[in-house]
Amino acid sequence: MEIIVSPLAAVQLLVSKHKVSHVVSLLGPETPHRSFSGITDANHLKLTFHDILAPSEGLTAPASDHVETLIAFLKARQGEDPMLIHCWAGISRSTASAFTAMCLYNPQVDEWRLAQQLRSLSHVATPNRRIVAFADDIMGRQGRMVDAIDAIGRGEEAYEGVIFQWKMQL
């Protein structure tokens, strides 16, 4: 299992280069979702919400049902080809979703260790804490996912995230 995390601007190039089979798009309501050549609708999850940590008037906060949909998509995924997860910048929503996948696909691995792997792959990763908290609750991790993300802290300031790949260790 391989997960690629990127900003929106790099998605099509990476889909083609790495023979990606599944894409998770996490964009705000003001950014139209795109289709990517080689990715079927069934293999493309499109979630729409703002990158915020709490409900705010006029904005769409990540909600439990968004994260339930994400986890269901991750669980249903078949095959060994890479999956790509992206948001606008590749810093917050996508890294929170990638961390969710890392924890889901590695239930026996300590959340702190997975968060440390995430930090080692991206010095700018700042996983959206609200997404992580919902995932933690849904997967019954008893606050350990949130604690692990809190432990790695906020990533370095950046306009756009670094593209990175995470491979599951068997």
Per-residue confidence (pLDDT) for residue 15, from 0 to 100: 98
Per-residue confidence (pLDDT) for residue 85, from 0 to 100: 98
Per-residue confidence (pLDDT) for residue 78, from 0 to 100: 85
Per-residue confidence (pLDDT) for residue 10, from 0 to 100: 98
Per-residue confidence (pLDDT) for residue 166, from 0 to 100: 96
- Domain map (residue ranges) of the chain: 2-167
Per-residue confidence (pLDDT) for residue 79, from 0 to 100: 86
The distance from CA 149 to its chain's CA centroid, rounded to whole angstroms, is 13
Please report, for residues 38, 84, 86, 90, 162, the alpha-carbon distance to residue 17 in angstroms, rounded to integers and kept in the order given.
Answer: 11, 12, 16, 18, 17
**Which stretches in the chain have pLDDT values below 70?**
169-170
Instruction: Tell me the fold of 2-167.
Output: Protein-Tyrosine Phosphatase; Chain A (3.90.190)
